[in-house]
Structure 1
């Protein structure tokens, strides 16, 4: 017969809940405002109280054991009970930390504005957006949600497609005046490309994007799409850039649009435990709504 949870261990249950959602003690410590050793002590105390291991280490970070899942049910019930305490106005409020990893263009032009609107409605919500372009890895931990390019292959996580997007070639009028306008794909071999750093690129879909192009020397390569725009807008070469941004900037001249485009998708990935969190659920809803409505934030001038 399982031991009963001692509800004096409320802080330990919240620590377990947070580690289960984020997969890392350090990430849980950051969210809860304590240090790593405090999280460890609280989990150890809870394991002693329940008479067994609650977490096990895996390639995905820390995951719940069967006993841990039973404790998680109690932790979620406590979280919901605490959230239900307060005025009628408080009942509709959300609070807590939500951590999101996403490519920088998505972060700046869709995620940040969408989550800013959500945060205005729920001032107690805190968002952390980690801007990076990488695949959904089995070792990904420390995030509630992750936005990736291309359909992910993950386990013990849910994924859904947010939207399609397209990459095309662009240059400036100054660049094509100085170097000529390529009339066919083969002529691109005489031009420089601004794109991701080959050796730093871990996303298969972005790697595939250049496979239909002839070999091109690199002008300025970067892991940041903002840097790629800055290089292209300053006439360093031809950029392979997202249409949803480039079409709004008058100084972006289309190059070979009748002959080349590359299509991909943004996908949303979340750990199963994290997706049971109401704040995370509302974050997913806000991102889905923004994607469905095409709510891209386009500054009236180029930020690059």
Structure 2
């Protein structure tokens, strides 16, 4: 289990961001070549942000929970943080601030959301929790990402798929992503954002702890403290049934307090990826409507038992 406290998380985050900047990057004169720490020193960052060294030190040590927006904004500018990193800094610096999101409790997708996902017959779609548990997917989403898993597994909390766990710990999923080395940092970045938004989510902390212990690659990426929401972009797949695909994706947070997101995939019109996705959809559509296991119908053969995931 990830036992890092919010103050420790804040200190780690600020230190990694200081380490990636050199004095000359921000217009400071660096005297000499021997520096005890990589990147900016605390006093250099404090100078850039216009705060005292003592105050910044207390902030980095998690001893200034009442930091103002102005101070945090100044530090974000000095560190050249991205918008996602800036928001993450605020979450870590003020864990007790009013309005902070509570740990998500909803563990099922709303019936209306399920109907929406099911209606997207030509679009791979799934519903995810804030910690990336799969609450629902349509047959094409299941066929694309996890045909080797039971189609009804999202309905069973005991073995509900988690896309980040699959990415790091499931060999079938790893084979699904030919550019796994690009996909892994994106997944860790998204988990960092979630951990900042939901610091009291015990299951999220347990997931991070599990991945840290079982995957050295995850642990190495996590230590770098990457932060990016990754709500849209392009993913490369090498599906065992239809071959290579380049699919765009969009992740949209549902308009309620559950923290759930709707994830959808698409292909460029007229591309080979669109043809491959249509072929996969045709295999899904050819399955018996009364089939109790869309995972086996997806492949059309026993090969479905060896299909990858997200």
TM-score relative to the length of structure 2: 0.25
TM-score relative to the length of structure 1: 0.25
Structure with the bigger percentage of helix: 2
Larger Rg: 1
